[in-house]
Each structure stands twice: as C-alpha cells, then as structure tokens.
Amino acid sequence: MTTSTSAQSLWQRVTAPLSSGPTAYAFLTFYVVVCSVLLLTNPRTELSTDIVFVLFMLSMLVAYRSRVSAWFKVTLGAIALGIVLPYFGTLNPFYIDVATQAGIFTALALGLNVVVGFAGLLDLGYVAFFAVGAYAWAIFSTPQISNINPAWSPVDPIMFYPFLVIGLILGLITGVLLGLPVLRLRGDYLAIVTLGFGEVIRVVANNLDRPINVTNGSQGIRDIERPPLILVDLVRNLGVQADDNRLYQLFFYYLVLIILLLTVIVVAHLKNSRIGRAWEAIREDEVAAVAQGIPRVRMKLLAFAIGASFAGVMGVVFAAKQLFINPPTFDLLRSINILVMVILGGMGSIPGTMLGAIIVTMLDLQILPRTAAVIREAQAAGLPIPRQFDPTQYQRLFFGLLLVVMMIFRPEGLWPDERRREEQHEVEIGEEELEADKTVASTSADTGR
Amino acid sequence: MAVDATVASTTARRSLGEVLGVVLGPIGQLLAFIVGSAASLALIVVVLALVLSPGQPDIMQRVVIILPQVIIDGLVRGFLFATIALGYTMVYGVLEFINFAHGEIFMIGGVIGATVSLLLVNSGTMASIPPLVFVLLVVLIAMAFCGMLAVTVERIAYRPLRNAPRLVPLISAIGMSLILQDLARLVMTNSPLGFNARYQTPDFGQPLRLFEMQVGERSVPVILSPRDLIFIVAATIMLIVLNYIVNVTKLGKAIRATAQDMPTASLMGVDVNRIIALTFLIGGALGGAAGALFGLRIGTVNPYMGLIPGLKAFTAAVLGGIGNITGAMVGGIVLGFLEAFVAAYLAIFTGGNFSGAAYADIAAFSILILLLIFRPSGLLGEATTQKV
C-alpha cells in the first residue's frame, strides 16, 4: 500500500515500508526462507505445520502485492512453488496433495470468476462442466468404454494429453449449449436455471447406466487411468527416490501448476482485452452496453464458454488424479464451494479469486479436519462436548455463514478488483439518485402484479 | 392493522358477492387448467400408446389401467408444488427477488410437523386425537414457526441488502439456505428425531376406493388415500385464504401497493418494512404448511428434502408467471401433472430402459428452460419490458 491518503490506518503505516523499497526485498526473502526452513525441517502432519504451510502459501500473495521488481517476484515464486513445495511434498505427501487440490480449485475458481466476476452471470451449475471433463476421461480410459460399444477398447494412457484439449473442447461445447438458451435471462433466473442444469447433469450421470451403461450409474467409475510418467528416468537420476504414487503426486502437482499458470495468463489477458471491457460493461449496465454496440449474446456466450472450458480441462486432470469419480462428486455443494471461493476473494479480481480458492481449500482439507481432531481429543480428555459436534460435518453451515456475512459486510470480497471497488464507492455516493431512477423506471415498466 | 390511516380510510367496502367473485374466481381458472392439462396429457399418452401398440400389443391396456391413478397423483403433486410456489411468488411479487431459502423453510415445516407428531406419540395422546385435529395442530404449529423463521431470515439476510445490486441478496439467500439445512441437521441428529425423522400419524382410515377401472377382464381400483385427500383439501383452503388476504383485505392492498411501487407506497403511509416482513410471514407460513403436509404424505423428513421441491416450485412459479398468485397455482398443477405422467409412463414407453422417477426431475428443468426461452413471462404472466 503506497497510497498516502489522509486517513492512513495503522496497518497501512506498518506495511508500507515492508512492501516497497529495499526493505521489501529483504523482508520477502526473509519471509520465504523462514517459512521454507520451518517447513522442510519439520515435515510432520500437525497444526503447527498447517499454520506454517498457510503462511508459506500466503507469502506468494504478499510477494504479489509488494512493490518489488517483477523478476524478483517471478524468481521467488518459481523457487517457492517449483522447488521448495514439491521437495516438501516428497517429505510429507499430505501437503502436496492439499497444494494440488488447491491448484485445481484455484483454476476452477478462476474459470467461474470469468463468468460471475467479469460478466456478472451467476452460474450455480458450474461443476457440471467439471463433471463433463472428468467423465470424458473416466469413460474413455477405463473398460467402461466397451460397455458403450463392445468394439471399442480403452484409449492408451498417453492419450491423456490430447484429452486435456478434448476436455477443453467438451467444456466449451457444453458451455455454449447451456449458454445459448439461457443467456437472455436476468441474473437470478440464470442462477436457478444453471442450478437446474447442474442437477440434470448429476441425475443423468446417476441414471445413465441403462439402457446403455455409459456412466456406471451411482457406483461411479473406478480405476481411472493415469498418464504414463514422462521424464521418470530423469527424475530418478536426479536422485529422487520415490515410488510411483509419490511420483504421481509430484507429476500432478506440476501439471496443475502449469495449467494454473496458463489459466492465470489467459484470464489476465482477457480481463484487460476488449472482450474483458465488454464483459465489464455488460455487468455494470447491460442496456447501456448494448446501446454502445456491444454484442451482448456473443459476449455472454464467450464468458460461459471460456469459463466452462477451464472446468473441462480440470475435470480431466481431476479424474486422472482421483482415480475414482461418482455423481455425488459433482453435487450442488461443490458448485457453491467454488462460488464461495470467488465471492470470498472478490468477484472479478484475479488475485482475490486465487486467495479465496486457497483459503477455502485449506479450510476444507486442513483447518476443519484439524479442528475436528482437536475437538475429538478434547472429548477423549473428558470435556463435555457433544459427540455429534464435528466441524467437518458443518461445511454447509460454514459456507452459508460466510456467504451471508460477506454479502452484508463486505460484498466486494477480501481482495476486490481495484476498478470494481472504485465503481462501488461511486455507487454509494449516488445511490439515492440511482434508486429513485430505478423505481421510476419500474413503475413505468410494471403493468401490475 | 398493517395499513396506516391514509390507505385505510380510502378503502371502500366490497359487497359479499364481489368478495366471493375475487376469491373464488381464480379457483375457476385453476379448475380449467386442471381439467385441461389432465385431458391433454392423457390424450398425448393415449395417442403415443396407439402409435406403439402394433409393436407391443399390451401397451394400450397398461397405459389405460393406470391413467386415473396417475391423474390423481399428478393432482396431489401439483398441489404440493403450488403451495410451495406461492411462497416464492409472494416474495417475488413484492421484492422482485427469488427467496432461495424458501425450499429450506418448507423442509423445516416438515421437521416441525415430525417433531409435533413425535411429541404427541411420546405423551401418549396420539391415539386419542382425531385425525383432523392432528392435521390442524401440525399444520398450524408449522405455519407459526416457519412464518416467524421466514421473517427472521428476512431481517438478518435480506433487509440489510435491500438496495444492493441484484446478485447480492441472491447470494445471501443461498447462504441462508445452506445455514438452515445444516442447522436442521444439527438439531435433528442430536434429538430423538434422527436424520430421517419419521412422521408418526394417527389412523387416517382406509384408502377411499373411488371406482373400479374395467379393462378387459381385469378390474383395477382407483385409490385416493385419506392423506392425499387431506393434502388437496388443505392446499385448497390455503389458496382460498391467501386469495382473500391479497385481494380483499387492507393488508393485501398494502402488499399490492408495495409490490407496485415501494417508495410511493411508503409516501402513502404504508410501512414498507412491515409489509415486507408480513409478506415473508405469509410466504413462510405457507411454505411451512406445505412442508408439514408433505411430510405427512411421504412419512419421513430429512434436512436435504427442501432443495428439489424448492427448485420445482420455483419452476412452477415461473411456469405460471412469477409474481402472479393464480399463476403459481396453475404452474404447480401443470408441473405436477407433467411429472406424474413422465414418472408413470416413461418406463412403459421406453420398454423399461429409462426409469421414469429419475427422469421426472429432468422433465421439470427442461420445462423451465424451454419456457424461459419461449415465454419468459409464464402462462398467465404479462410480458414486462426490460428495466433500464
């Protein structure tokens, strides 16, 4: 924070020297090194490691916010995410799995952010596109395919890489297919229809084991093929002694990292392109945007298709990583989970969305289960806590509270988009006038109940 | 009274005839739609059966035998959707906002009903209570509780956001629905109810045999269970009362005024906040009653049962024209018939390859999507231009 407003808060005064000038370089290096050392010297699975791990992940965001040279940021990020974290992963496989999941959901959240944050279309069935990608790889890589046509046999595992593209295309097509009919709808209608669509996909996945067994119904598809490990000899020669499972963890970590990087680049470029501006215009005032000559339907469809294609690719990766998928994997809660990431971080803000995704994934996979374990210990020690009180069980409650509280107190999210925040403050000033205008318009448009 | 002096003093008294006309008029419309949709769907089914019958000789017989039962099922389903859809429509009509948590209010109505029935069983008074009193008790308690709950939800999650952009209250409504789901689960699993709360009921008596269907040598009875009958009667009473409230009373007038134009209504002496709270009270009470009756009919309730009926009720509300009370009823009925027909006949027509019960859900959402494409204002809705 370098802006010197008259009402500078204490926080800003403390952080300002740490985020610019030579101090920032020293501080960042110190921060990352301390976290790395703490992680690497203490690779156990417990609460303290969780905290250090979270701090380590947060260091990336601190680096992003600091006023240091871009090269320094990139180098720091590359070392931390490309070397320190994977090495830590070989010491403690639990955390690399968390990091991979966080990466997958970050990419998904970025995709949803294109739809919700950039274009302002509330999509509650986003996980459907994820499911399409996941089922595509699951069906084609397992003997499930011969249930559809006995003449077909599973594709070679190396086909995983082309399938990343196929997943993208499938996501794109599904996105357009869903988008075409519903994009004329207003926000809340769109939300319900996409929700319905998500449910339809789940019901279809659950029931498409007859007359032809396509999805294997509620039993799901197991033993999904993983791609062959490329460069495995090279890695072994580097001295990494690990069994296949460990290597696969590293492989998926790097794969997700690469895809995530590409996603971030694509999304950032889109945001600043003509298309991104058009989305923003539609989001802020659709009628005015159309009057300015923005092709509304094409732009909305584009947002839907691009968001869906990210989900399609990640679906393929997810299926190969998890080895097992079934319809409940893709239920409404998962969609809302991703939406929470976007809203918590800040709709329309790329770093915000990433922050939200990391926080929510950590919460899900680490903090809630860990709190549960702590509470269970307390119960064993004789504290009077009812047995049913297990925080992992109350994910919905937690998300619900998060959504309501965020909407009431900070609807722009933890790390809002700069431009969007400015606009919102503008709205606050002229709110009364705007409201008056709106009501005048609604009386003339309404013809009664 | 909900309305302050200015509005109240200008209200002319209506004659009894007018009141009856206003209240019962929609019932006539509803009957027309019931008969119309039942007849047209039956016709479609029979024609399909005729087309398919050369290949499968017994298909016609199978279709006709279950037809009356399917119509009755459809009617019951339809009333269920209609009663939930009314809650959506009430709120949408006033606030132009989809109360996403309404499905959960419905679910909690079911939970309350199950609680009351459990309490009655535990106190040993269940057997001595006449079924009618039991139903009344359950429904009224559920209505009171859910009405208050809906008002609370409005106060906490919607009122602070009334002037926010459209997406904001919708998201907080989604949050509220997740909260209610998990709270219900927390309470249920920690109480004698259990996750799938059983709905204890007094003896409702034997199912009514309406008539016998004669097809060839076979004779199949057409059954209407007393629970279904109670459901239909209760739902009809609710609809009539709601129509009365909205169209005849001063409160209804204030609600309509608020829906029309909030700032002007408040200038005319309507306490808008109070009217909105009352709208939520009515909508929530209707949802609670629907939940209690639904639980009564199904036999069990669980914390997640609100989502799908909620979605379908929303579909029904849109189908009829959201914001239009008669429309919600009509939409619910049409959707109920459609689902009952799909559930009963899809398996027959596809040779058992597609299970009708599973794909009935899809039918509802397909209707929603098709409708929104071709007639976004719904069956009875009036086309509105987009607001600038």
What would the pLDDT profile of A268-304 be if each residue is shown by its tens digit?
A: 999 999 999 999 998 888 889 989 899 988 999 999 9
How many whole angstroms separate alpha carbon B90 and alpha carbon B278?
Answer: 10
The two tokens of residue A233 are 């000899």
Query: What is the distance in angstroms between the Cα of A63 and the nearest Cα belonging to chain B?
Result: 31
- Establish, for the pair of chains A and B, how many residue pairs have beta carbons separated by less than 8 Å: 170
Number of Cβ within 10 Å of residue A362's Cβ equals 19
Q: Which of A200, A343, A400 sits opposite B362 (nearest CB)?
A: A200
Return the higher-pLDDT residue of B175 and B193. Answer: B175
- Please give the Cα distance from B170 to B158 (Å, whole number): 9
* Nearest residue in A to B184, CA atom: A397
A445 vs B183, B355, B387: nearest CB: B387
**B168–A446 CB contact, under 8 Å:** no
Residues in chain A, how many? 449
| B212 three-state secondary structure | strand
Decide if A448 and B181 are in contact by the 8 Å CB cutoff: no
Average pLDDT of the segment spanning A129-150? 89
Global pTM reads 0.85
- Would you state the pLDDT for residue B12? 53
**Closest to B292 measured CA to CA, from B177, B134, B101, B182:** B134
B-chain CB neighbours of A449 within 8 Å are: 93, 256, 259-260, 323-325
Q: Which of B177, B263, B368 sits opposite A439 (nearest CB)?
A: B263
A263 touches A107 (CB < 8 A): yes
Q: Which residue of B has its CA nearest to A433?
A: B163
Residue type, A62: V
In this structure, of A42-46, A99-103, A156-160, B87-91, the range with the lowest mean pLDDT score is A42-46
Question: What is the length of chain B?
Answer: 388
Q: What is the pLDDT of residues A49-107, one digit of tens each?
A: 888 888 888 888 888 878 888 888 888 888 888 888 888 887 888 888 889 999 999 99
Please report the sign of the dihedral spanned by the C-alpha atoms of residue B225, residue B228, residue B234, residue B239: negative
Environment class of residue A347 by beta-carbon count within 10 Å: exposed (0-12), middle (13-18) or buried (19+)?
buried
pLDDT band at A398 (very low <50, low <70, confident <90, very high): confident
Report the pLDDT averaged over residues A422-446.
Answer: 51
**Structure-block tokens of residue A249:** 């963890």
Q: How far apart are CA A204 and CA A134, in angstroms?
A: 14
Decide which of B6 and B31 is more confident: B31
Q: How far, in Å, CA of A40 to CA of B195, rounded?
A: 44
Q: Is there a contact between B170 and A122 if contact means CB atoms under 8 Å apart? A: yes
Q: Is the dihedral of CA B336, B337, B338, B342 positive or negative?
A: positive
Place of tokens 């209760």: B234
Chain-chain contact of B353 with A210 (C-beta, under 8 angstroms): yes
How far the first Cα of chain B sits from its last, in Å, is: 36
Helices (H), chain B: 5-9, 16-52, 59-95, 102-122, 131-153, 167-189, 226-247, 250-260, 262-267, 272-298, 307-320, 325-349, 356-374
Is the Cβ pair B256, A449 closer than 8 Å? yes
**Measured between alpha carbons, how far is A84 from B95 in angstroms, rounded to an integer?**
53
- Whether residues B386 and A445 touch (CB distance < 8 A) is answered with yes
Tell me if A199 and B365 make a contact (CB, 8 A cut-off).
yes
Predicted local confidence at residue B5, as pLDDT: 44
Kindly report the number of other CB atoms within 10 A of residue A74's CB atom. 11
Under 8 Å between Cβ of A327 and A202: yes
What's the confidence (pLDDT) of residue B9?
A: 44
pLDDT of residue A387: 66
What whole-number distance in Å separates Cα of residue A136 and Cα of residue A163?
A: 8
Categorize the per-residue pLDDT at B287 as very low, low, confident or very high, splitting at 50, 70 and 90: very high
* CA B112 – CA B105 distance, rounded (Å): 10
Q: How far is A402 from chain B (nearest CA, A)?
A: 7
Which pLDDT score, from 0 to 100, does residue A239 have?
A: 67
Quick one: what percent of chain A has pLDDT higher than 70? Answer: 88
pLDDT of residue A414 exceeding 60, the answer is yes
Q: Which chain B residue lies closest to A402 (C-alpha atoms)?
A: B175
Q: Do A199 and B171 touch (CB under 8 A)?
A: no
Give the pLDDT mean for A387-401.
Answer: 78
B317-367 per-position pLDDT tens digit: 888 887 788 888 889 999 999 999 988 888 888 777 777 777 888 888 888
**Lowest mean pLDDT segment, chosen from A100-109, A251-260, B15-24, B253-262:** B15-24
User: Angle B326-B340-B28 (CA atoms, 0-180°, nearest 5)?
Assistant: 25
The Cα–Cα gap between A415 and A399 comes to 18
* Statement: residue A367 has pLDDT above 70: yes
Q: Lowest mean pLDDT of A198-212, A289-303, A330-344, name the range.
A: A198-212
Instruction: Provide the 3-class DSSP secondary structure of residue B263.
Output: helix
Query: What is the reported pLDDT for A1?
Result: 43
Under an 8 A CB cutoff, do B355 and A186 touch?
no
Instruction: Nearest chain B residue to A333 by CA: give it.
Output: B178
Across chain B, what does the average pLDDT equal? Answer: 84
pLDDT tier at A108 (50, 70, 90 boundaries)?
A: very high
pLDDT range class, residue B8, cuts 50, 70, 90: very low
Rounded percentage of chain A residues whose pLDDT exceeds 90: 28
| Exposure string for B181-207, b = 16+ CB within 10 A, e = fewer | bbbbbbebeeeebeeebebbbbebeee
Q: Give the distance, in angstroms, between the CA of residue A287 and the centroid of all CA atoms in the same chain.
A: 30
> What pLDDT is attached to residue A341?
92
Q: Of A109-123, B190-204, B266-280, where does mean pLDDT reach its minimum?
A: B190-204
The rounded percent of chain B whose pLDDT value lies above 90 is: 23
Query: What pairing do the DSSP bridges indicate for beta strands B197-198 and B208-215?
Result: unpaired
What is the model's pLDDT at position B384? 52
Mean pLDDT, residues B35-60 taken together? 84
Closest Cα in chain A, distance from residue B65 (Å)? 26
Interchain pair B384, A397: CB under 8 A: no
The span from the CA of B184 to the CA of B361, in Å, is 24
Better-predicted residue by pLDDT, A237 or A256:
A256
> Is residue A157 reached through a cis peptide bond, with omega within 30 degrees of 0 on the bond before it?
no
Residue A383 predicted with pLDDT over 80:
no
Residues 6+ apart with CB under 8 A from B25: none
User: Which pLDDT score, from 0 to 100, does residue A448 have?
Assistant: 38
Q: Rounded to the nearest 10 degrees, what angle do helices B131-153 and B167-189 cross at?
A: 130
- Rounded to a whole number of angstroms, the distance from the CA of A446 to the nearest CA of chain B is 6
DSSP, res B269: T
- The answer to whether the Cβ–Cβ distance between A396 and B368 falls below 8 Å is no
**Helical axes A368-380 vs A47-65, angle rounded to 10°:** 160
Q: Tens digits of per-residue pLDDT, A15-43?
A: 777 767 788 888 888 888 888 888 888 77
